[in-house]
Amino acid sequence: MSDLGSYLRKKREALRADDARFSIRQVAARIDVQPSYLSKVERGQEAPPSEKTLRRLAQDLGEDVDMLLALGGKISSDLAQIIRKRPMLFAELIRDLKDMPDHAVLRIVREVRDGNW
């Protein structure tokens, strides 16, 4: 399906080059899953883990949570909740932004943040 697995493997192996604490077994122990499970996830033999597990993994590997969740086919539950509170409004906005280039969306983000509204 997605390449969450290979992404995780690459990232972990990169970390492991400098720090032996990033073996499958030790990472698995820290994020509280079985090493066999993590191994399968990294090789794409298992479906992506739950949001909870992906969050712990992101934290342990120093990765962005939203990106890792996306690779796992999920959306952060706090984002989902925000959208669900005003579904029509956000649906319209997001569909409009679908084909906008990153820099255009970023400009909106900045404008919003600067409080020009």
Partner DNA sequence: CCGAGTGTGTAGTGTATCCTAAACACTCAC
Partner DNA sequence: GTGAGTGTTTAGGATACACTACACACTCGG
Residues that bind a copy of itself (CB under 8 A): 64, 66-67, 69-70, 73, 75-76, 78-80, 82-98, 100, 102, 104-109, 112-113, 117
Nearest to 43 by CA among 15, 6, 14: 6
Whole-number minimum distance, CB 37 to a copy of itself, in Å?
23
Report helix, strand or coil for 100. Answer: coil
> Nearer to DNA by C-beta: 6 or 100?
6
Whole-number minimum distance, CB 80 to DNA, in Å?
13
Q: Is residue 33 involved in binding DNA (CB under 7 A)?
A: yes
> How many residues can be counted in the chain?
117
Number of residues located near DNA, criterion CB under 7 A: 25
DSSP letter for 71, please.
H
Q: Is residue 42 involved in binding DNA (CB under 7 A)?
A: yes
Nearest to 90 by CA among 75, 72, 102: 75
Report whether 69 contacts 92 (CB < 8 A): no
